[in-house]
Amino acid sequence: MRKTFNRSLQHRLLTHGAAIVAALASFSVDSSSGFAAEQAPSPTKSPNPAASALETGYLSPPVKVTDGLSKAGEGYFAPDGRHICYQGVPAGYPFYQIYVQPFDAKALRPTTPTRVSPGRGRTTCSWFAPDGARLLFASSHPDPAIDKTEADAKAQAEEDARAGRRRRYQWDFDPHMDLFTSRLDGSDLRRLTDSPGYDAECSWSPDGKSLLFVSDRDGDADIYVADGADGGNVRQLTNAPGYDGGPFFSPDGQWICYRTDRVEKDMLQIHVMKADGSGDTAITSGKGVHWAPYWHPTKPWLIWTGADHSDPTQRPNYDLWVARFEADPATGSFRTGAPLRITDHVGADVLPVFSPDGTLLMWTASRDGERSASQLWVSQPDFDAIERDLPAIPPAGSAEGSR
């Protein structure tokens, strides 16, 4: 997953205090022992959770499309919409691996995944090439101490299982994480980065000519861009103190959305900048956590995950929010209206993405009941209802429209 970091050069843990931890606290942690092969999805159909009036006003009943892994999440669609990629924890192994599985929009259901990553180490942040032929992801499998890394994680999971302890979510900012590409079956693995420190949170531009990623190679997590073909010609786009991460190019390739905690540690906010790093604009603010921004492919909409952290006595509820925007690359102006909430499930709803044709919404959630594991869910939004209820963009120059 794509979060933040502290500045220990030896062991960087992305705990995000009460922020991202709270968002994913309901997600299960695999505590099984022994390394086992991936399992095919269970034929048992998942229950359809009851939906609130808010959700039924904007979304069709969500359908779970992953199963058979201890947990799964952060999914993305192939350019033709016929596959999805994601990270999942296989039974008996402590770390996420990268998977690809068939996807049929007319018959939403779990299908059998294929593991693409090498099968060892931590992996994250998969992304299809624009032609759909290769997959980009980050992996720490080159870790020279991989045996010890795995053994330590396995021992911790076994101890937690004996104690009945359920750990809150955390993500290791692994210094051995680098970028790789492969064919969709995992063959022809190619390494793109080999710099000391964490390289991950990666995606290609729509035309495949540029590669976005996050690195702490200078001691602080910033956003970089490189040549899409081989990861060469690396240029740094952000350099403010604090975490910058989770970047994605807009469908026209002229903008980049991302998240940052540069204003207040752990309080992530959504920012947008031009593709060259100029025109940086804050989209959200305040005592809250807003992360995982993503573009709609045809509408001037941004979607993200957000929660209110202003009341320390209340458990923040992480839900999906949509806002309309106006963008002028010539002037660097980027303005948004107030966001509209479209989910209010009691569990965390995070990491939303639209399908390439814009008709479907997929996100990571734990909707199978109390303490259920995170999986990927898909729904067909009611775009007319969302368009009707989305707040307008305030006039330029007004207090509300000054962003």
3-state secondary structure 46-94: CCCCCCCHHHHHHECCCEECCCCCCEEEEEEECCCCCEEEEEEECCCCC
| CA atoms of 236 and 276, how far apart (whole Å) | 9
77-81, 126-130, 190-194, 315-319 — which is least confidently predicted? 315-319
CB 81 within 8 A of CB 357: yes
pLDDT band, residue 369 (cuts 50/70/90): confident
**Average pLDDT score over residue span 68-74:** 95
Looking at residue 400, its pLDDT comes to 59
Distance CA(193)–CA(179), nearest Å, equals 5
Residue type for position 26:
S
Q: What confidence score (pLDDT) does residue 397 get? A: 72
What are all long-range contacts of 164-167, with beta carbons under 8 Å and residues at least 24 apart?
A: 166/28, 166/29, 166/371, 167/29
Task: Tell me, rounded to whole angstroms, the distance of Cα 270 from its chain centroid.
Answer: 13
Question: What pLDDT does 290 receive?
Answer: 98
> Average model confidence (pLDDT) for the chain?
87
Q: Please state the separation of Cα 212 from the chain's center in Å.
A: 14
Domains and CATH numbers, the chain: 12-389 (2.120.10.30)
Pick from 227, 224, 244, 243: nearest CA to 235 = 224
For residues 255-276, average pLDDT: 97
The distance from CA 13 to its chain's CA centroid, rounded to whole angstroms, is 17
- Residue 321: its H or E element: strand 319-328
CA distance 250 to 257: 7
pTM of the model: 0.88
Structure tokens at 218: 């200078």
Cβ(140)–Cβ(190) under 8 Å? no
Q: Per DSSP, what are the bridge partners of residue 364?
A: 350, 376
Report the SS3 class of residue 226.
Answer: strand
pLDDT of residue 399: 59
Residues constituting the chain: 403
Mean pLDDT of 336-352: 96
Q: 10 Å Cβ neighbour count for 38?
A: 18
Task: Provide the token pair at 86.
Answer: 């994601």
| Residue 331, helix vs strand vs coil | coil
What is the reported pLDDT for 402? 43
Residue 319 confidence (pLDDT) above 70: yes
For residues 53 and 343, what is the distance between their CA atoms, to the nearest angstrom?
A: 10
316-324 average pLDDT score = 96
Residue 285 clears pLDDT 70, i.e. is over it? yes
* pLDDT above 80 for 301: yes
| Predicted confidence (pLDDT) per residue in 43-65, tens digit | 334 444 567 899 999 999 999 99
- Give the closest residue to 323 by CA, choosing from 303, 293, 298, 299: 303
Q: So what's the pLDDT on residue 340?
A: 98
Average pLDDT of span 137-147: 97
pLDDT at 323 over 80: yes
- Tell me the pLDDT tens digit for each residue of 1-25: 444 333 333 333 333 333 443 444 3
Task: Write down the pLDDT at residue 162.
Answer: 87
Q: Which letter does DSSP use for residue 144 in this model?
A: T
Q: What is the CA radius of gyration of the chain?
A: 20
